[in-house]
Structure 1
């Protein structure tokens, strides 16, 4: 099946994509674009949108810059990412940090083992990035223990 004229997708792929405003990544928000996530929250989950805005305003009180600046925009992006991590942590609490799976032992016997859930590493990495970016923006004093 040839691709439609003007289609830059792989051969045999008719192309297309997710419908506009698709938020399939909203299971926890970890893979959503920050601006799409914020717009989605404002429209669909106003209480969570308010959580992000309250976090932003709280951080902005301690920040050495004003609202409306490029650094404030970055801070809002960080708050959206922090919301995504918060949601993902909820999934971790509900589903656990580890999961049971099966593997074969050296003698071929099927045994049950516990392994770390695959989403833990990206959540932890993003959480560390958030803290690093907040420190880079001087939102926290060096003496703050957060």
Structure 2
């Protein structure tokens, strides 16, 4: 359950909201258990993610989350940032551009900010492109910026 109210935006309103922030997700804590579970699931066991003792002496002073772990949080963040009501179906269609401008150290909190870039009609629905910026609490740079493309069907 979100720790804040998320805006409800009718699909028909989206074309007129290009460039606007649609919503911001609640903060989410990234602990070592989450990082380790992702490492096991993806077989990406690099020490910078999974070995706190070795990582403490490394370039970031602690373990950091995988970039793809950070990216994988977009569906949860989007779900908790804004709602498009009365849809029959929503599909993740892909990503246009993904960058990881800063590391995400263990025990940080992150949230997603979603800005509408495009809303184009497709057969039976709309293709929606949002810029998703994942911010780390207290940090100047985001930990991920991605253009996420979804298809929404009323």
| TM-score, normalised by the number of residues in structure 1 | 0.28
Q: TM-score normalized by structure 2? A: 0.27
Q: Between Structure 1 and Structure 2, whose CA radius of gyration is higher?
A: 1
Higher helix share: 1
Greater RCO (CA < 8 Å, at least 6 residues apart): 2
